[in-house]
Structure 1
């Protein structure tokens, strides 16, 4: 009895599979394939977006780091300059400098520093970046600068004058006096980012404004009473 009942049932299933099984298999394969393709596309898109985001962040991070480092270094030097107490024994500049005139000693650097580093060096030696108030002192320093030229090299010497706080409001950093006398070269001063005055050997030591962060020679001075 069981065999008779099972045979028709099995025959119907067998017939159904024979008739529709291939279609069902193809449909299932198509559905699985479509889902696989969609999944792969989604994963590729997600990874690409993540990679682009990382690269963008990395690029911006590199630029940001360079700018931040420069600003941090400059601000650190400015803060150190503000906080340093000027050494009372001003004989250090007079010991290392060769020149004395009108109760002042002058030191011409043989190495280069940016303006902030130069000012810090002068202060630590009991002096300050040179301040030039009149034509006589200017001519004297120009002659000394010329004597200090390295063969084949036209040096540039930072002074203490700058307009860092207010553009074109030139002041002497040590005395906080406004610049009254000047000896600008032709076309000087330049606009924007050149905020520190130097004697330029390429222009007979006329005054030129330079970026304060550029590396130049410099002149320290100290009062020698």
Structure 2
């Protein structure tokens, strides 16, 4: 807008100056006509300049308001950023945290199928163990939790092709910590895995409706 406004103003000023420098005729009529032209150009120039000053002033004020608003927003964001520095979302009440994941140990027992549904209702999934460090942390947590007779369900199953997978994302189970001679698939019906209390929470396979087993839910923090 500044350029659009100042260009005609500059043009008007230059035209007026040129008119003043133009030689006048000696006749009274010519002098009068020339003076009228110059006066009109001067008035036009003054009008354009005043209009431009008004527009530029308006834009300048608007810009100052915008700058002030932006400054306020930046200040608020910086304050919020500083208050959140080093903090992250907390696990829900009753859940334990480990490396940006939350874990929930059930107070009651149920089947593997029902456990999967209950974990989903809580916004998570049956625990998916990916390495020895996580497994050791979970086992230590389970030792301090409610001591269900046969331990806690995890998310490993082998329903489809006999290969163990995680129910959460159907990925193959890579890390394992099976108890000695497990998985055995005794009777050809043991398709669900659990942390076995009697084996110090090493893994065991059993039929998916086995009694005396709680469940361990997991979700990303």
CA–CA separation in structure 2 for the residues paired with 1:155 and 1:143 = 16
CA–CA separation in structure 1 for the residues paired with 2:180 and 2:166 = 21
Residue 98 (structure 2) pairs with residue 101 (structure 1): yes
Which residue in the other structure is 1:170 paired with? 164
Q: Which runs of 5+ in 2 are unaligned?
A: 1-88
The match for 1:185 among 174, 179, 184 is: 179
RMSD (Å) for aligned C-alpha atoms: 1.7
Distance 1:96 1:121, change over 3 A: farther
Q: Are the counterparts in 2 of residues 129 and 160 from structure 1 also a CA contact under 8 Å?
A: yes
What is the CA deviation profile of residues 110-167 of structure 1, one whole-angstrom value per residue up to 9, with x for unaligned ones? Answer: 10110010000000110000000000000000000101144xx644110000001122
Which residue in the other structure is 1:161 paired with? 156
Q: Are the counterparts in 1 of residues 116 and 125 from structure 2 also a CA contact under 8 Å?
A: yes
Secondary structure at the counterpart of residue 139 of structure 1: helix
Which residue in the other structure is 2:203 paired with? 207
TM-score (norm 2): 0.56
Q: Are the counterparts in 2 of residues 157 and 200 from structure 1 also a CA contact under 8 Å?
A: yes
Q: Are the counterparts in 2 of residues 158 and 219 from structure 1 also a CA contact under 8 Å?
A: yes
Q: 1:1-225, aligned counterparts within 5 Å?
A: 94-150=91-147, 154-167=149-162, 169-191=163-185, 192-215=188-211, 216-224=213-221
Q: Which runs of 5+ in 1 are unaligned?
A: 1-90
TM-score (norm 1): 0.55
**Equivalent residues, number:** 130
Larger radius of gyration: 2
Deviating runs (4+, > 3 A) in structure 1?
Answer: none
Q: Are the counterparts in 2 of residues 197 and 210 from structure 1 also a CA contact under 8 Å?
A: yes
